[in-house]
Amino acid sequence: MTTFQRARSEEQREIRRQAILDTAAAMLEELPVGAISLNELSRRVGLAKSNVLRYFESREAILLELLDYAWQQWTAELPEVLGAGIDAKAAVGERGEQFAAAVTASLAGHRVLCDLLSAQAGVLEHNVSPEVAARYKRATIANVGRLAALAREHLPELGDRASWLAASATMAIGAVWTHARPSQAMLDAYEADPSLAVLRMDFASSLRQMLATLTAGTLARTTP
């Protein structure tokens, strides 16, 4: 734990602010979003809770900023992944399947992004001011736009519907991630009665199938 003196300059304030973000990011590597508390974050960063709130208005504001950062990291890696995974000469249906497979595979090293996306609308967009909400939503629009541009690059047949596909794919990532991680009570119930697990999801296979279906459906609605 680091103990900070009172920040007296803008540079010092930025150092404190970055330390809070770095500490929260480290916590997300070992804990799910729901287990991140402002009290524990304050303890680990070496600041009183009231001082942490001088830099960020809430726990959710911190996590929204980390979500934007994780999202940008992911989309920065996607061009290479999609370029290697999609055959530009293949038929549009095959390219759609390859797009779904490549996007799914790209998330293997981005557990924190998936976890934050799963909490985005139901948790993280609450307990923030209109100013923080608006700033995050602008970042979201930009991140979805980058994904849409990549989808359109490899599937030009999508046209303007690439934006809808990108937004839907993002929601699917968060939803499937949530359902692919059942509670301990559910796991115990599945073990006691395996028939109850008929709808249990595996993240990679379920997401790939969902993205392929979304892509094929969007293409079908776009094709004259």
Q: Tell me the C-alpha distance between 33 and 31, whole Å.
A: 7
Range of the structural domain that residue 126 is part of = 59-222
| 185 lies in the same domain as 140 | yes
Q: Are residues 47 and 96 in the same domain?
A: no
Q: Of the residues 41, 56, 71, which one is the last residue of a structural domain?
A: 56
- The answer to whether residues 201 and 177 touch, using CB atoms and an 8 Å cutoff, is no
Does this model's pTM top 0.85? My answer is yes
Q: Which two tokens stand for residue 27?
A: 């916590």
Tens digits of residue pLDDT in 134-175 = 999 999 999 999 999 999 999 999 999 999 999 999 999 999
Tallying the residues shown for the chain, one arrives at 224
pLDDT digits (tens, 9 = 90+) for 30-73: 999 999 999 999 999 999 999 999 999 999 999 999 999 999 99
User: Are 79 and 187 found together in one domain?
Assistant: yes
**Amino acid at position 221, single letter:** R
| Cα distance between residue 175 and residue 194, in whole Å | 23
Say whether both 19 and 82 belong to one domain. no
108 with 191, same domain?
yes
Q: How many domains does the chain have?
A: 2
Pair (104, 129) in one structural domain: yes
DSSP code for 7: P
104 and 24 within one domain: no
